[in-house]
Structure 1
Amino acid sequence: MHASLTRQSVPWEAVIALDGASPDRLPAQLAADPRVRTFPLSRPVGAACARNLALNEVRTRYVNWADDDDEFTDIAMQTRLSTLEATGVGWCAGWSEDLHPDGTTNLWRCPTPPGRHEAGDVWTYWKAPTDTIPIGPTTILARTELVRAAPMGGLVQGEDYMTAVGITSLSPGILLPLPVYRYRKHPGQMTAQHGYNQLETAAREHAWRYGRALRSAIHRQGPASG
């Protein structure tokens, strides 16, 4: 992840949530980079809580969630940042790729089609909780205040589904037809661990119902501002 950030053509800053891990475990090249700040937690609290607490430390105008074992494509930040600044929407996303151990990739085109989407419209492409999520959570670059209003959900997994539907429900945004994030596939990833699927159905349904309820509440009050 850090290597991919160094290849971006725009300024950036990273806040790393250390979920119960000692700052001493931070790789030397990250510790030496002044653009990298750490947010240590004295005990493990889980991904959702760690990420949300680290969000308090974000100082940039825009923010993008990311996992330490994945990477951004080289044009990820510049392309989405340019779109955000040119259009004034709240978020800009793209497609993602699965990155396999042999270096090959598979492109994932999310169910949401490319183009501009009004607040709440992305959720409509998630027809049922068991279907593929409508947009990749880590492909979204969004205004920081928008992310603060729709942070990670309080789940042990699937918390990123909730931030994705939350962000896209509160503001219009744009989906670009190009990959901006690579999801590295390996045996140690969270989704490959024993027992992960036991709660996946319930987590998806909770996030799906959250998106439906949020869209319904917003539409009753009138359209959200851009």
Structure 2
Amino acid sequence: MEKTLRHHDQPSVAVITPTGLDPSRLPFLKELYESLRAQEGVSLEWIIAPNGPKADPDLIPRGITQDRRVTVVARPGPGPAPARNTALNYVSAPRVAFVDDDDRIPPFSLAIRNEHAIVTGLRWVAGRSADWDPVTGSLTTWMCPTPVGRHAPGDVWTHWPDPEASKPPLGHCMLLTDTRLAQAVGHGGLHKGEDYAFLMGVCARAGGELLSDVVYHRRVHEGQWTAEDTYRDQVEFDARRHAWLKGRAERELQAEAPLVGSAIPWTFPRDHGHRLDTSA
């Protein structure tokens, strides 16, 4: 039986989806919506963030926009980074996940991560991602470099030794994140790879856990931007390097924090016969 969110209910999870509303991808958006409707054991809100000069909100099917769990936040400026950041302004749920407009999530994706976050108190919980071929129906799980289990702040970065050789060792769409943490980190304003910086920031500022459950289905199709030959250009590698340096810096700052906190406290200087100038 379909569960609906009553108007007075507080959603426990927000899902944010940036989209250029390319007409050829609208069927994908409908499939994503159906996967959100199929979520069990969790109340949700869906924030759709159309971005770009051709992203006309009127293109969104009425069956989606009439759902009172849906909020549309349209911005004329292009790029998923500002779209994701702006969408965070409208989140009312305590936890948030990002889902791309051509992908989908399995029925218990949100509930599994949300329940684990509640029970453990962790500020981020991730699950595995699988490549999904809608033609054959096959799912191929990505055995990411980050191992299943708990991870202290900054530890995920250690599983990414060379940003030139690979993307980060975890995907940002695999995360369910404390909303305040997501707002504190944000997506860097890069043309591409902004999700790399978000991932490194989230996993560096708080401890979390990677579950063995598959929580994300990444669609395999010909229109994937990341599958294009031109995708791996200098901009892509600059974004990787930026995120890698961010992760390293965040980890080093985390390690230095106790030392800073244990420094000798500053005290107001005593008056040894000299008057303090208070006129400044």
Residue 111 of structure 2 is matched in structure 1 by 78
CA deviation profile, 1:22-51 (whole Å, cap 9, x unmatched): 22111122112111110011x232111111
Higher gyration radius (CA):
2
Q: Does 1:141 align with 2:173?
A: no
CA deviation profile, 1:92-144 (whole Å, cap 9, x unmatched): 00110011242212110211111111111111111110234211110100110
Identity of aligned residues (%): 41
User: 2:167–2:240: 8 Å Cα contact kept in structure 1?
Assistant: no
Could you state the TM-score of these two structures normalised by the residue count of structure 2? 0.76
Query: Among residues 28, 33, 44, which one is paired with 2:67 in the alignment?
Result: 33
Q: Secondary structure at the match of 1:179?
A: strand
Residue 11 of structure 1 is matched in structure 2 by 43
1:30-179 aligned within 5 A: 30-41=64-75, 43-102=76-135, 103-129=137-163, 130-179=165-214
Q: Write the letter of the residue equivalent to 2:239.
A: A
Aligned residues: 222
Residue 4 of structure 2 is matched in structure 1 by none
Structure 2 CA distance, aligned partners of 1:133 and 1:192? 17
Could you state the TM-score of these two structures normalised by the residue count of structure 1? 0.94
Q: Secondary structure at the match of 2:195?
A: helix
Cα pair distance change 1:194/1:112, threshold 3 Å: closer
Task: State the 1:194 CA deviation.
Answer: 5.5
Structure 2 CA distance, aligned partners of 1:15 and 1:71? 15
Structure 2 CA distance, aligned partners of 1:132 and 1:205? 10
Structure 2 CA distance, aligned partners of 1:128 and 1:24? 43
Q: Secondary structure at the match of 1:105?
A: strand
Q: Secondary structure at the match of 2:39?
A: coil
- Name the structure, 1 or 2, with higher relative contact order (CA <8 Å, separation 6+): 1
Gaps (5+ residues) in structure 1?
Answer: none
Measured on the aligned residues, the alpha-carbon RMSD in Å equals: 1.4
Gaps (5+ residues) in structure 2?
Answer: 1-31, 260-280
Residue 203 of structure 1 is matched in structure 2 by 239
